[in-house]
Amino acid sequence: MSNNVTNHEPVHGFKVFNPDWTCRNFQYEVGKTFEEDVNPSCCDRGFHFCEKAADCFNYYKFDSNNKVAEVIAYGEVRTDGDKSCTNKIHIVREIPWMELLTIVNTGKDNTGLGNTGDMNAGDCNTGSRNTGNRNTGNRNTGSRNTGDRNTGDRNTGDYNTGDMNTGDWNNGNCNIGDCNTGSRNIGDWNTGSCNVGECNTGSGNTGDRNTGNMNSGSFNTGDFNNSSFNAGCFNVKEHKIMLFDKPSDMTYQDWLDSKARELLRQIPKSAAEWVNTDDMTDEEKVAHSTYKTTGGYLKELDKSECCQMWWDSLDIDDKEIIKAIPNFDPDIFYECAGIKVD
């Protein structure tokens, strides 16, 4: 609006003054009425005020040293946006600072203005216990965060430390994803900067689980590799792997896709078998005295026992698939997997 004329009915509002009760070099006093023989015009002439207390601080610093009063405009009133002016104003009463905080905020125990929530320190926060400005959420320290418990500015998510992160638990700046440490990562669990992918350690990697810098691919250890599963630098193709201490014709990706690996991944991490009383040793009976009631006990198998039990349960075809791994050596297989083949 631009200097729209309102009627001459009283208009209630608020006005801020300097600590000495002056405003624009005019001296005011609580309890008195002031009048000018002018046509009021915002930012030009007349007594200025705002109908909303918070709007006053678009023109005055939000400072507890300034004076704030409730006012009534009795004369002609003109309005321009969030401010108004009149040619006759009555200074009703001074508003104590603590009361003002309850007027300009929605919530309790806020320090600032325009907060919606409780115990915010700053302005225009939505939520509770924020320190800063324009946060949406709870317990943020900084400004313009959306989420909870962020430390920094313009984060979207929770528990970020830094600025402009999108996601959760990032420590750095401009990350998109979760649990990144560094800056400008896109993905999750990266340590470093400018990685695109997941679980990279280093910088400038594109892919997953690289350790090093500027790799394109996954599972590389080194720098500037442009393929996967390399240990070294400047490799453009995936190399063959060792099997049973000998060179093979398989790449690691071939191994990942193999039926043998699929079978071996089925080895149980833990297992147990029931031992009847008649099969228990004297030591087992002492260690598991409840056998007299239960008729035995449940024995937890160690790793080698689990592996061997799994192998013994395989059918012949599956055993042959595993024994067909290039360079298969039963002694090395037993040393590494704890399995004695037939």
- Give residue 34's pLDDT: 96
pLDDT of residue 2: 47
* Bridge partners of residue 78, in order along the sequence: 5, 85
pLDDT computed for residue 305 by the predictor: 83
The pLDDT of residue 5 is 54
Q: What Rg, from alpha-carbon coordinates, does the chain have?
A: 38
Positions of E strands within 252-331: 271-276, 296-301
- For the entire predicted model, the pTM comes to 0.70
Report the DSSP pairing between strands 136-138 and 146-148. parallel
Q: Which residue has the tokens 């297992």?
A: 271
116-120 contacts, C-beta under 8 A, 24 or more apart: none
One digit per residue, pLDDT tens: the chain, 342 residues?
445 655 568 999 999 999 999 998 999 999 999 999 999 999 899 999 999 999 999 999 889 999 999 999 998 999 999 999 999 999 999 999 989 988 998 888 999 889 999 999 999 999 999 999 999 999 999 999 999 999 999 999 999 999 999 999 999 999 999 999 999 999 999 999 999 999 999 999 999 999 999 999 999 999 999 999 999 999 999 999 999 999 999 999 999 999 999 999 998 877 778 999 999 999 999 999 999 899 999 988 778 788 898 999 999 999 999 999 999 999 999 999 999 997
Contact 143, 131 (CB under 8 A): no
H or E segment at 99?
helix 97-104
8 Cβ contact list (under 8 Å, min separation 6)? 74, 75, 76, 77
Is residue 16 classed exposed, middle or buried when 0-12, 13-18 and 19+ CB atoms within 10 A define those classes?
buried
Give me the residue label for tokens 């200097």. 3
Return the pLDDT at 315.
95
- Report DSSP letters for 7-57, one per residue: -SS-EEEEEEE-TTSEETTEE--TT-EEE-SS--BTTTBSEEEBSSGGGGG
Distance from C-alpha of 257 to C-alpha of 247, rounded to nearest angstrom:
18
